[in-house]
Amino acid sequence: MQDLRTAAPALTTLSDEESMFRDAVREFAGTEVRPHVQAMDEAAQFRPELIQRIFELGLMGIEVPEQYGGAGGSIFLAVLAIEELARVDASAAIYVDVHNTLVNNALLRWGSNEQQRRYFPRLTTDLLGAFALSEPGSGSDAFALETRAERTAGGWELTGRKFWITNGAEAGLFIVFANGDPAKGYKGITAFVVEREFPGFAVGKKENKLGIRASSTTELILERCRVPDANVLGPVGQGYKIAIETLNEGRIGIGAQMIGVGAGALEAATAYVKERRQFGRPVAEFQGVQFQLAQMTTDLEAARLMVYNAARLKDAGQPFAAQAAMAKLFSSQVADRTTSNCLELFGGYGYSKEYPAEKYYRDAKIGTIYEGTSNMQLQTIAKTLLK
């Protein structure tokens, strides 16, 4: 097995290219996204022109080969982009996260040459993607799918409903999982590339959420949705394998989002305690506050190293599923604690929308839920340990 130390730089070391990329995303997030964050959160609507700017900056094709209009980069670059966007707005980060780590990733791993030629030039320029696995009765039990796929002349008909679909309101392409042979259980599941305009496909209600409110989360309705054979993703009956392996990379992206949210909250709290005065001096001069800041900084650095390590392992072609689960689990826990503590450092103002602490707190909670709850991550880690 290749030694990771020879396969990639030290975890905390960024190459010049990586540093320049990170700094460019940080500047975009700070100058173009930040001025709209509060308004987008209150309206529960992401600005369409910002989505287009994200495409223009090349952030929607980070791992896609250059021949298809992508950057030909790595999951590590995607992690840097997601982290920097989440420091400012978790909703912006999840648009980039889902599109890269789930949709593009699935097509890279399982798409035919024809599918890649057909879709990647659009997925890197203006076509937003979504990943449709969850259903009303299948959350953690992801393969208890009720959506059915029936063969027809030259294709398939999909019938069912999908819930909690990130990017659903704006996406034009969906990776949809349906069971074509229920008698085989999860081995009957097949993945399909579904375009929004396919007959029988519709986007349903949009969820009114606690956090990441500017990110759309919708229901999908499939009523005998006609999908051609050319849009079957991977082998028939291998949808369960496609979903599992795609979500492994997706969890690295969620980890990056969570360390970004935690870092953004900590930066805001650190600036505030330097300005806020109590008992005749800045709050930051109190040792109790200093210790809280030090502990949160340490926790975030540990979470960041776990996320970066999982990304480096994936890029080096090493097994990374357990490391991705640990990174997602720990980073979501750290983000939950950090944003809660930072809110308290703002005192009463932390509970007010006048300051950003309450939004970071709301945005962090989803990290313990989507792309596998914390209990599901623990199960993955335990299975690896006991194998």
Active site residues: 371
* Strand pairing report for 277-278 and 281-282: antiparallel
Burial 344-360, CB ≥16 within 10 A → b, else e: ebbbeebeeeebbbbbb
